[in-house]
């Protein structure tokens, strides 16, 4: 029975640590795939322009705040409290408290010997530890949102690569250049607004959700007029 308990405990422990690792691997694969896709169309690119995108960076900021709250308000006080209870009799180093299996073994030991108060504290700490381990996935998600938020769109003659996705021009209902706005650096920026035709490919880079908005400088304005005309002609023909 003890053998089964120990095996189950070890397996579930590795699962907790595997979650953020798997998230990190998946996001790394997605980022690499995006880079490879951009390389394949680099020779076709007419213009590289920033996405008018606040969504990803806003989500990165919110996610980072959430992670900090978990870390500062929840986990750090818990680990300090448990370290004071267990050191130096049961643990020598603070990082020993980051291994779920160690905590579960101590819980089992305390319950067996009737040390109920310490066991109760450790059971509560174990829940917080699992939450903290899994929430480390947020760090990789934050990196991904920042990466996506800072990416430029690749405008080609026959297609557009933006937000990690390839769009053909006939995926859009219309393309137009919106009047300029002045940013914080006192630079005049036009917005190239692309209305997405198919709701299945509506993307979270847009505002509202059925548009993509790309930033265009004054210098790029004239260059893009001919492209807009060609794109709209292609959309009309399709």
52: which residues sit within 8 A by CB, 6+ positions away?
Answer: 191, 207, 213, 214, 215
The least confident of 56-70, 76-90, 163-177 is 163-177
Last residue of a domain, one of 81, 115, 142: 142
Q: Is 197 within a domain?
A: yes
Q: Is 148 within a domain?
A: no
What are the structure tokens assigned to 233, written together? 């002609």
Q: Is 192 within a domain?
A: yes
Assess whether the previous peptide bond of 232 is cis (omega < 30° from 0). no
**What DSSP string runs through 99-164?**
-HHHHHHHHHHHHHHT-HHHHHHHHHHHHHHHHHHHHTHHHHHHHHHHHHHHPEEEEESSEEEETT
188: which residues sit within 8 A by CB, 6+ positions away?
Answer: 180, 181, 182, 217, 218
Last residue of a domain, one of 91, 112, 142: 142
CB atoms under 10 Å from CB of 104, counted, come to: 21
Q: Are residues 211 and 184 in the same domain?
A: yes
User: Strand (E) positions, the chain?
Assistant: 45-50, 152-156, 159-162, 165-168, 172-182, 188-196, 211-217
Q: Is 149 within a domain?
A: no
Q: Are residues 23 and 123 in the same domain?
A: yes
What is the total count of domains within the chain? 2
Q: Is 80 within a domain?
A: yes
Q: Are residues 205 and 172 in the same domain?
A: yes
- pLDDT band at residue 206, thresholds of 50, 70 and 90? very low
CA separation for the pair 33, 155 (Å, rounded):
18
Beta-bridged to residue 156, according to DSSP, are 45
Q: Are residues 114 and 161 in the same domain?
A: no
Q: Are residues 118 and 164 in the same domain?
A: no
pLDDT at 89: 86
Q: Is 94 within a domain?
A: yes
pLDDT at 34: 85
Write out the residue range of the structural domain in which residue 172 sits: 157-237
Residue 58 has pLDDT above 80, yes or no: yes
Residues above pLDDT 90, as percent of the chain? 8
Q: Are residues 128 and 195 in the same domain?
A: no
Q: Are residues 76 and 186 in the same domain?
A: no
Q: Are residues 121 and 23 in the same domain?
A: yes
Q: Are residues 74 and 173 in the same domain?
A: no
- pLDDT band at residue 11, thresholds of 50, 70 and 90? low
Residue 211 has pLDDT above 50, yes or no: yes
pLDDT digits (tens, 9 = 90+) for 87-115: 888 888 888 888 888 888 888 888 888 88
Which of 172-204 are b and which e, b meaning 16 or more Cβ less than 10 Å from the residue's Cβ?
A: beebeeeeeeeeeeeeebbbbbbebbeeeeebe
CB atoms under 10 Å from CB of 45, counted, come to: 15
Q: Is 49 within a domain?
A: no
Q: Are residues 28 and 127 in the same domain?
A: yes
Q: Is 138 within a domain?
A: yes
pLDDT at 1: 46
Q: Are residues 108 and 188 in the same domain?
A: no
The least confident of 61-65, 93-97, 141-145, 214-218 is 214-218
Say what the pTM is.
0.73
CA separation for the pair 142, 64 (Å, rounded):
7
pLDDT at 148: 81
Q: Are residues 138 and 164 in the same domain?
A: no
Nearest to 74 by CA among 145, 147, 133, 151: 133
């Amino acid at each position: 029975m003890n053998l089964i308990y120990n095996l189950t405990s070890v397996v579930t422990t590795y699962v907790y640590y595997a979650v953020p690792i798997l998230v990190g691997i998946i996001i790394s694969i997605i980022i690499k795939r995006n880079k490879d896709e951009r390389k394949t169309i680099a020779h076709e690119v007419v213009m590289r322009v920033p996405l008018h995108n606040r969504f990803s960076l806003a989500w990165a900021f919110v996610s980072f705040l959430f992670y900090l709250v978990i870390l500062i308000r929840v986990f750090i006080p818990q680990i300090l409290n448990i370290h004071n209870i267990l050191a130096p009799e049961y643990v020598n180093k603070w990082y020993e408290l980051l291994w779920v299996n160690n905590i579960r073994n101590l819980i089992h030991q305390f319950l067996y010997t009737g040390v109920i108060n310490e066991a109760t504290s450790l059971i509560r700490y174990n829940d917080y530890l699992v939450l903290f381990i899994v929430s480390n996935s947020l760090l990789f998600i934050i990196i991904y949102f920042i990466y996506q938020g800072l990416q430029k769109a690749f405008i080609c003659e026959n297609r557009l690569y933006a937000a990690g996705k390839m769009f053909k021009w006939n995926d859009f209902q219309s393309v137009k250049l919106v009047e300029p706005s002045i940013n914080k650096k006192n630079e005049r920026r036009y917005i190239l607004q692309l209305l997405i035709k198919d709701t299945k490919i509506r993307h979270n880079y847009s505002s509202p959700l059925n548009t993509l908005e790309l930033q265009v400088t004054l210098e790029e304005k004239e260059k893009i007029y001919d492209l807009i005309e060609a794109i709209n002609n292609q959309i009309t023909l399709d």
